[in-house]
Structure 1
Amino acid sequence: MHEFCSQSRFPSQRIPKSDRLLALENDLSRIAAGFFDSRTLTTQTELHGKDLFHGKGNAKGRKLADRVRVFQDIAALISDNGIPVRMIRIDVEQHRKKYAYPEPEYHLGLMLLLERFCEYLDASDDLGLAFGDYEADEVTRSVADFSEFKARGKTPMYLGRPLERLLDTIYFTQSHHSRFLQAADLLVYMAGRYENTQPNPDKWHEREVNAAWEKIKASGTTFIQRWP
């Protein structure tokens, strides 16, 4: 789960079909190697949206065009392969105003995201596994919530849905250990930046990264559920 922008939450994940996973893994490693000159998974070779955009962390000192190209390459990978993307945008302020006893945002985001995953899996008649970025204060809670939802037979929403197509548990790992999680991080960064505000048209990199995000949305495989 990721959080960007002061009053919005953007849980997100990509849902590649199993027969494309090896090719996608190789393509993501190729993108990382093109920027870092290494395919090895370390903190020094992690693709992180915020650092790439601002030239911080392991992207410090790198040419702006090279940093922008990473966003463009990820956008091309997602759109060219028709990879489904599901996101939940929670307007925290409106959520808390609307409900007398509002569901905690993290709990709500998890429920909605798992529902969208299973909605996709139902439509494609497939099974799936859920993976997440390791955050110590969220792991135990997420695993417990997921197992409770499955034990109840569905999510505890008014129109909750079964989660039987998601197997076993939610698996967590550090983002620098997974190119798939890193790609999701870039998507969440772009969504958080461009779904809430208009890009500055005077800045070349803003226009280019926003265009990359628009390309992903135009692919027809991206769905953002806005709550409430």
Structure 2
Amino acid sequence: MVTKSSIRKGWEHVPVWLTVKICKQVAEAIHDSGAVFVFRGIDVQKLKAKYTNPHPVHGLALSHALESVQRVLNLDHTDESVLVLADEHHTAPDSRTRFRGMRAAAQRGYTSIPLSGLMDTIYFGPSNHSRLLQAADMATFLTNRSVTITESHPAAKKAMQEIKSNLDKATRFSYVWP
């Protein structure tokens, strides 16, 4: 399994200017590809403060993201179905089981609508072998950074504005559960 520390370790010798350039190029490529991006987040501290025994955060965030994808399909009035690919995660078996139920009906605490436009199952795989998952990881990382971190350096602020602008053009839905 890929961890945040292993990802950071892979970037530790990359100069900051090159990291910024790569992030800008990735955001531009995501926009130019025609991809549609959905961002869902959860404020974990507020979740734990509100509920004494909340649903597991990973499963909840995945369910919220899948519901947002279904809502985009509904808004677009499309008959297309969506194949769901996701990063490998230790909760994959439970997520697949819950997903089967969510396709048929809303699942209390997870979704408010059935996920009827999503195909078959969730296919979990290692992101280091999938450009699609890598792009989704980068879009998620960069969007989360823009939501949670206020850049203080003028050059960093300008770079994040450019990155966010490209990602916003590809984003159909963005929401962090408060």
After TM superposition, the score normalised by the length of structure 1 is 0.66
Letter in 1 for 2:163: W
Q: Hey, which bits of structure 1, 4+ residues long, moved more than 6 A? A: none
Find out whether 1:141 has 2:102 as its counterpart. Answer: no
Q: Which moved more, 1:212-221 or 1:101-110?
A: 212-221
Find out whether 1:213 has 2:163 as its counterpart. Answer: yes
Structure 1 partner of 2:84: 130
The structure-2 alpha-carbon separation of the partners of 1:130 and 1:182, relative to structure 1 and needing over 3 Å to count, comes to same
The Cα of 1:108 is off from its aligned counterpart by 1.7
Aligned residues: 174
Find out whether 1:76 has 2:7 as its counterpart. Answer: no
The Cα of 1:222 is off from its aligned counterpart by 4.2
Structure 1 distance, partners of 2:36, 2:17, is 27
Letter in 1 for 2:94: R
Greater RCO, 1 or 2 (C-alpha within 8 Å, sep 6+): 2
The Cα of 1:96 is off from its aligned counterpart by 1.9
Structure 1 distance, partners of 2:167, 2:18, is 22
Structure 2 distance, partners of 1:61, 1:116, is 37
Structure 2 partner of 1:115: 67
Q: Which moved more, 1:138-147 or 1:75-84?
A: 75-84
Structure 1 gaps, min length 5: 5-47
Q: Within 5 Å, give how 1:139-178 maps onto structure 2.
A: 139-151=92-104, 153-157=105-109, 160-178=112-130
The Cα of 1:109 is off from its aligned counterpart by 1.2
Find out whether 1:66 has 2:30 as its counterpart. Answer: no
Structure 2 distance, partners of 1:196, 1:3, is 20
After TM superposition, the score normalised by the length of structure 2 is 0.82
Structure 2 distance, partners of 1:159, 1:71, is 32
The structure-2 alpha-carbon separation of the partners of 1:225 and 1:3, relative to structure 1 and needing over 3 Å to count, comes to farther
SS in 2 for 1:195: helix
2:84–2:123 CA contact under 8 A, matched in 1 = yes
SS in 2 for 1:180: helix
Letter in 1 for 2:102: F
Structure 2 distance, partners of 1:127, 1:182, is 22
The Cα of 1:185 is off from its aligned counterpart by 1.4
Structure 2 distance, partners of 1:154, 1:84, is 23
Structure 2 distance, partners of 1:95, 1:115, is 19
1:68–1:208 CA contact under 8 A, matched in 2 = no
Structure 2 gaps, min length 5: none
The structure-2 alpha-carbon separation of the partners of 1:115 and 1:65, relative to structure 1 and needing over 3 Å to count, comes to same
Name the % identity: 27
Letter in 1 for 2:73: L
RMSD over aligned Cα, in angstroms?
2.7
